[in-house]
Structure 1
Amino acid sequence: MSRPATIIGLKAACVVGFDGTQHVLWRDGEVVFEGSHILFVGRGYAGPVEQWIDYGNALISPGFIDLDALGDLDSTVLTLDNGDERDMGRMWSEEYLARGPRESFSPEEEVFKYRYAFTQLIRNGITTAMPITSMYYREWAETYDEFAAVTQVAGELGLRTYLGPCYMSGMSYWRADGTLGHHFDEAKGLAGLAAAELFFQDFDGTYGGLVRGALLPDRIQTCTPALLQKTAALSRELAAPVRLHCCQGLGEVAMVEQLRGCSPLAWLEKLNLLTPRSLLPHGIYTSGADDLQRLVNGGASLVHCPVVFARDGEALNSFGRYRALGINFALGTDTWPADLLENMRQGLNIARLLEGGNSLTSTLDLYNAATLGGAKALGRDDLGRLAPGAKADISIFNLRGLHLGPLFDPLKNLVLAGRGDDCIASYIDGRCVMQDGQVQGIHYPALQRQAQRQFEKLMRSHAERAAGQPDWKTLFKPAIAFADDYSATAPLSGIDPLL
């Protein structure tokens, strides 16, 4: 017989509860949970509690939901102020495709990058994640065996995840004349979908329900009609969520219009892929009101990732206007750092700049997207909220930091000045996965050293994909030029991090 679950009570200066309709703030609040479920949220719990933990001047919040969570060593940071991607080997060149793509990492290194990324997610108060990685560095796409190992990592760390191997039937590449080409291999795409179906059947619901399956085709422009039609049918059969990146670039929109004769969202509507099970990062480039109405009619959710697009001068126009139409928003990080507070802050500022004022988008709107909106996108009414019967997915944010300034409203202070690493403790499914900022079972210095070694290997791999295979050290430019040629021979890490 299993032992009865321990009843644990948490106390803090502020608690974000849920009244059945919306978040509400409790001062000097309490959260009590037994096993994986919450029993009580409020003040003055009178029942038995085997352990009380008082976090003092802190905010107890529902854990954040990241539905485009970086599961990688971030490669987009390499493009920052670094010129054209055609020249720096992030995307494939025609000659690289002709030689035959290859893996940048070993199987063990592929799995490690998830351990590194999942640790970062937990460290930043994220309790539910649907990860995303780059396919540019792969021989083709992700594999069943790889994700069987990733599932084990998620289970060990205790992160709630929606997993499945990414699959695709095509890849864009740069031709020698500087134009963009598109290579398709239908057989590989369909084999990837079959692997994703097998993974779903084998792993959905494992680790006590922490691991759930999902269908994760790569991007709309890398998928053929047959692959997406079969994805839609399989999603209906399995009741599985589908995440598909779309409307995220002008080149993508032009390609879909050329090949399919309509806008990306109109094409997805024809394929029956605009449903309440559809999660769509990023929704930036749409074809006017008709496209937005398609989202509303189908019930699909947009996954908003403001930080990664703002770096390149792009933005959703606008969060408030989309939301006013009835479009559901979730949030995603999609890049380093894995900080949803930063995405809330930049998302709020960007929305108000584009909206010309502060009336359409509020601080709470962004917080809701990271909690209730993410839960709705997943079809879960037991996530993204602290209420009796909900899952005990809880993040605690320290409010003592000098950088937060004098406290008026804990949420406003955190969104205006907070950081993900203000999260000091996290519980997922009732299990304490982080305490005092330390993710259980992880040695941070060793983790960072391994990540640094792999990142340098990733940088070297850019030379293989770039036209002419230049010296990899010429592909990346520091913000401040080196004073001498020391950089040509010294390791990029220079100083061992976190020693």
Structure 2
Amino acid sequence: MNSFDTIKLGARPQGRWALAGRWIVADTPAGRHLVRDGEVVIEDDRVVHVGQPFNGDLSSRYDMGNALISPGFVDLDALSDFDTTLLAFDNWPSEEKGRVWPRTYVERGPYEMYSHEELAFQKRFAFAQLLQNGITSAAPIASLFYREWGETVAEFDAAAAAAQDLGLRVWLGPAYRSGGMVVESDGRMVAEFDETRGLQGLEAAIEFAGKWQGHDLISPLLAPDRVETCTTKLLQRTMQAAGDLGCMVRLHMAQGMMELNASLALHGKTTPQWLDGLGLLNDYLLAPHATIATDEDLRRYADRGVSVVHCPLVSARHGGMLRSFRKLRNMGIRIAMGTDTAPPDMVLNMAVGMMMCRMADGDITACKSGDFFDAATKGGAEALGRNDIGVLREGGKADIAVFDLSDTAMAPSIDPIQTLILGASGRVTRATIVDGRLAMRNGEVAGLNMVSARKQAQDQFDGLIAKYPERTAGHPPVSEIFPPTYPLMAGPRSARSSS
């Protein structure tokens, strides 16, 4: 056996090589199985064997010990910035905490609160965090609250470069919108639109998509922002362009009361009802989060082949709940998974999802560990129209996550999938391999020093927080927008800590 630590981070081992482990997740024509004391054999970017120890010639063999070797996770709502929703955890309502622009900020002129270099860095850092959590395929998402308007082609060219440098498979496209909600001085929230600007954003996104079609690690995605920020014309042209390009569309909808109230005021319907009436629900639509979807909305999803991207951790943090995973599955709706928050911990996400499902139905039999593991792997791949990722089988892409089952916090161990989810932490991810390349090992990521990057990320985030008063109704100081959990004790160390 060779030492796994001898593989150069960021490289593919030469020749045909094997990973051995206590447990292997194997996808076969007869379904998904667990293999005890098995091996995965890799050559270039492909898996050539999954199962019992391989008898053929190998250039090297690496024993991962008491580990689970599985398909990498597919995250279809993967955070690609520093998560500002963390600031909303204990601070609400959103219109008083800088998450809805006040009229005064709109009149002075919204502006980019990060430089181009900072935008590029935060995507690189976020992509590295995905790899640290066993996520091998991702459709990134970011907030537009701190943007001048939408995302730009330049920053997504930088995102594509970061994905290639770090070794992450991504579906990319700059987010665009026609408008957004504005808080008036009397506290009313109104929707305002600039359709021309939205259509310009779509054209830039189409240009980006055309440039990256046919790439191995980079695939195009059209990403209109949340549905309440889009006009009919923008969404119609988006779906037409997606059909022409043959790419997916991700659109956040049925996710919150602000969206519902805006849709009822503008269209007299829920957003899924509105889109279905326009003929815009289809099988290339990815729709996070469905937490306020009605039964009629869900039937429309099922009839039109819409994939729901379930993000239980971020929903639960904000008091939301999918009602329910079992109901959607029984209706025949395809369910993929998204993390959509920091940390992008898919293991914790699955654990919260299982608890959410059982609580929504009041029934422990509503779901099992395998249901969520499948959604986080095969479900995401199927939503993207892929059968070579999210699986571990001969001929599939060598996109693999290795989880350490010897962690002392995960004892005693039972079935490996159940043990992983009960342990509820992606921090036991020992290695992440994408396209046959070792992208992450023991927390270290190819192409980025995570220790220094963590400090840079915090400094950049602190700089953003300092600007919050400019885009918060009434322009109160940061200490009032985000007060500490307990009053700070007077003294030289009473200043806000960023540790």
Q: What TM-score, normalized to structure 2?
A: 0.95
> What is the alpha-carbon distance in structure 1 between the residues aligned to residue 55 and residue 246 of structure 2?
40
Where do 1:408-423 residues align within 5 Å?
A: 408-423=414-429
User: Which residue does the alignment assign to 2:367?
Assistant: 361
Match of 2:237 among 210, 230, 234: 230
> What is the alpha-carbon distance in structure 1 between the residues aligned to residue 92 and residue 211 of structure 2?
44
1:406-458 deviation per Cα after TM superposition (whole angstroms, max 9, x unaligned)? 11111101101131110011110001111233112221221011001101011
Q: Percent identity?
A: 42
Residue ranges of structure 2 left out of the alignment (5+ in a row)? 1-11
> What SS does the aligned partner of 1:139 have?
coil
> What is the alpha-carbon distance in structure 2 between the residues aligned to residue 270 and residue 240 of structure 1?
22
- Could you say what the CA RMSD is over the residues aligned between the two structures, in angstroms? 1.5
Q: CA deviation at 1:270?
A: 2.8
User: Which residue does the alignment assign to 1:451?
Assistant: 457
Q: Give yes or no for contact 1:228–1:271 (8 Å, CA) kept in 2.
A: no
User: Which residue does the alignment assign to 2:135?
Assistant: 126
1:138 aligns with 2:147: yes
Q: Give yes or no for contact 2:239–2:280 (8 Å, CA) kept in 1.
A: yes
1:428 aligns with 2:437: no
Q: CA deviation at 1:174?
A: 1.1
> What SS does the aligned partner of 2:238 have?
helix
User: Which residue does the alignment assign to 2:66?
Assistant: 57
User: Which residue does the alignment assign to 1:341?
Assistant: 347
> What is the alpha-carbon distance in structure 2 between the residues aligned to residue 294 and residue 108 of structure 1?
42
Match of 1:464 among 467, 470, 477: 470
User: Which residue does the alignment assign to 2:49?
Assistant: 40
Match of 1:317 among 323, 328, 343: 323
Q: Give yes or no for contact 1:404–1:418 (8 Å, CA) kept in 2.
A: no
User: Which residue does the alignment assign to 1:68?
Assistant: 77
Where do 1:260-271 residues align within 5 Å?
A: 260-271=267-278
User: Which residue does the alignment assign to 2:162?
Assistant: 153
Q: CA deviation at 1:403?
A: 0.7
User: Which residue does the alignment assign to 2:497?
Assistant: 492
Match of 1:480 among 477, 480, 486: 486
> What SS does the aligned partner of 2:365 have?
coil
Partner letter of residue 225 of structure 1?
A: T
After alignment, is 367-376 or 268-277 more displaced? 268-277
> What is the alpha-carbon distance in structure 2 between the residues aligned to residue 294 and residue 147 of structure 1?
33
User: Which residue does the alignment assign to 2:175?
Assistant: 166
Q: CA deviation at 1:491?
A: 5.3
> What is the alpha-carbon distance in structure 2 between the residues aligned to residue 368 and residue 88 of structure 1?
37
Q: CA deviation at 1:203?
A: 1.6
Q: CA deviation at 1:21?
A: 5.0
Partner letter of residue 214 of structure 1?
A: L
User: Which residue does the alignment assign to 1:239?
Assistant: 246
User: Which residue does the alignment assign to 1:280?
Assistant: 287
Partner letter of residue 173 of structure 2?
A: G
Q: CA deviation at 1:405?
A: 1.2
Partner letter of residue 243 of structure 1?
A: R
> What is the alpha-carbon distance in structure 2 between the residues aligned to residue 132 and residue 485 of structure 1?
40
1:161-201 deviation per Cα after TM superposition (whole angstroms, max 9, x unaligned)? 00010010011121111111111011110010000000011
Q: CA deviation at 1:322?
A: 1.2
> What SS does the aligned partner of 1:214 have?
strand
Q: CA deviation at 1:487?
A: 6.5
After alignment, is 271-280 or 106-115 more displaced? 271-280
Q: Give yes or no for contact 2:165–2:446 (8 Å, CA) kept in 1.
A: no
Partner letter of residue 226 of structure 1?
A: K
1:10-38 deviation per Cα after TM superposition (whole angstroms, max 9, x unaligned)? 10000000012532100001101111111
Q: CA deviation at 1:262?
A: 2.2
Partner letter of residue 332 of structure 1?
A: G
Q: Give yes or no for contact 1:232–1:272 (8 Å, CA) kept in 2.
A: no
Partner letter of residue 237 of structure 2?
A: K
> What is the alpha-carbon distance in structure 2 between the residues aligned to residue 5 and residue 266 of structure 1?
53
Runs ≥4 residues deviating over 4 A: 485-488
1:180 aligns with 2:180: no
> What is the alpha-carbon distance in structure 2 between the residues aligned to residue 156 and residue 335 of structure 1?
23
Q: Give yes or no for contact 2:256–2:292 (8 Å, CA) kept in 1.
A: yes
CA 1:160–1:460 in structure 2 vs 1: closer, same or farther (change >3 Å)? same
After alignment, is 271-280 or 393-402 more displaced? 271-280
> What is the alpha-carbon distance in structure 1 between the residues aligned to residue 173 and residue 492 of structure 2?
43
> What SS does the aligned partner of 1:441 have?
coil
